[in-house]
Structure 1
Amino acid sequence: MIVKTRKYQLDNSTYIKLAMKHLLRTQWYWIFVPIGIIIINVILNLTVYPNIWIYFLAPVVVIGYLLFWLIQFTGVTQVEQNKVLFQKLLYEIDGRQILIKLNQREGMQMKWDMIKKAYKEKDHFLLVVSRAQFIHLPFSIFNSENDVKFTESLLKRKNLIP
């Protein structure tokens, strides 16, 4: 069976939100670095010497890290090489590959082994290719509920979602 979707264009703001959410989902442990530094500083304040600058520096480092990635993901939307990510595309999904078509004559195939991870949210599938590249498939682009269920079972068979 082949699942054919309607044309869909990924919006820049949706891409940035999804990319930041994926980053936080995969690198959540970063929050423990400033917390650990603050705990060590509290112990040092009580035993050796008073020091308050670290209470300001630790949150600034976390905010700086998040701003760095926000700027990177915003830049992805502006680069000419990534223009194809934000064009109207249709998808044909089957057990061998995902065909990403610009029109009936132009497109590319993506083998399932290129997809590193997949997530099923309440209203979409997110297929992660790399840290900054992914395929966003909202349920609204599928032609029927059976297509959504078949895609979900295909992702389960490929061990991309639990």
Structure 2
Amino acid sequence: MIIKTKKYKLETSTYIKMAMLEILRKQWWFIIGPIAIACLAFIWPSWWFISGAILIVVLYLLFWAVQFTGVTQLEQNKIIFEKMAYEIDGRQILMKINEKQGMPVNWDMIKTAKKTKDAYFLSLSKAQFIHLPFRIFNNPNDLKMMDAYLKRKNLIA
């Protein structure tokens, strides 16, 4: 059975916000190092430790923000931010711009999947993901079928 969705456009601001949250969720451990450096201020009182830790965290977040903003500006990634419909079946997810142009994404390309309160989040890499809000599905049966596909592919429990 094929699930056909309504057309949906991923906004660049939504992409940047979701990508930043995902990178922080995956790399939360990076914050531990600067916190340890800041704790040295209790042993040797100095504002250098605290300001250095804050600077490291800010530069790290700025680095990723620039990376994700750059993705939205690249010509080869413009297709991600166009309005497209999705056709989902047991073999692939077909991202269709129109009836003649589309890009298939095989299920084995999806590394992780997450079901949030209002969308499916299918991660392909650090900077690439498919965001499928529930509102683009035509009926509740499509949502149940999507859950079944994700469970069959062992992407969600």
Normalising to structure 1: TM-score of the pair? 0.92
In structure 1, what is the Cα distance between the partners aligned to 2:30 and 2:38? Answer: 14
- Residue of structure 2 in register with 1:153 after alignment: 148
Three-state SS of the structure 2 residue aligned to 1:36 is: helix
* Aligned twin of 1:121: 116
How far the C-alpha of 1:32 sits from its partner, in A, is: 0.6
Q: What is the match of residue 12 of structure 1?
A: 12
Q: CA deviation at 1:121?
A: 0.7
**1:24-63 counterparts in 2 under 5 A?**
24-43=24-43, 45=44, 50-63=45-58
After superposition, the C-alpha distances for 1:63-95 in whole angstroms (9 at most, x for unaligned) are 110011011111111111100000111111111
The one of 95, 98, 111 equivalent to 1:100 is 95
Q: Which residue of 2 aligns with 1:81?
A: 76
Gaps of 5+ in 2: none
2: distance between equivalents of 1:59 and 1:161? 36
Letter in 1 for 2:24: L
Q: CA deviation at 1:52?
A: 2.8
**Partner amino acid, structure 2, of 1:28:** W
Deviations 1:4-59 (A, max 9, x none): 0011111011101110111111111111111112224433x2xxxx4331111101
* Aligned partners of 2:40 and 2:49 also within 8 Å: no
Scaled by the length of structure 2, the TM-score of the pair is 0.95
CA RMSD in angstroms comes to 1.1
Which of these two proteins has the greater Rg computed from alpha carbons?
Answer: 1
Q: Tell me, which stretches of 5 or more residues in structure 1 are unaligned?
A: none
Residues in 2 aligned to 1:31 and 1:116: alpha-carbon distance in whole angstroms:
24
After the TM superposition, which parts of structure 1 deviate over 6 Å for at least 4 consecutive aligned residues? none
Aligned-partner residue type, residue 4 of structure 1: K
* Distance (Å, rounded) in 1 between the aligned partners of 2:41 and 2:148: 50
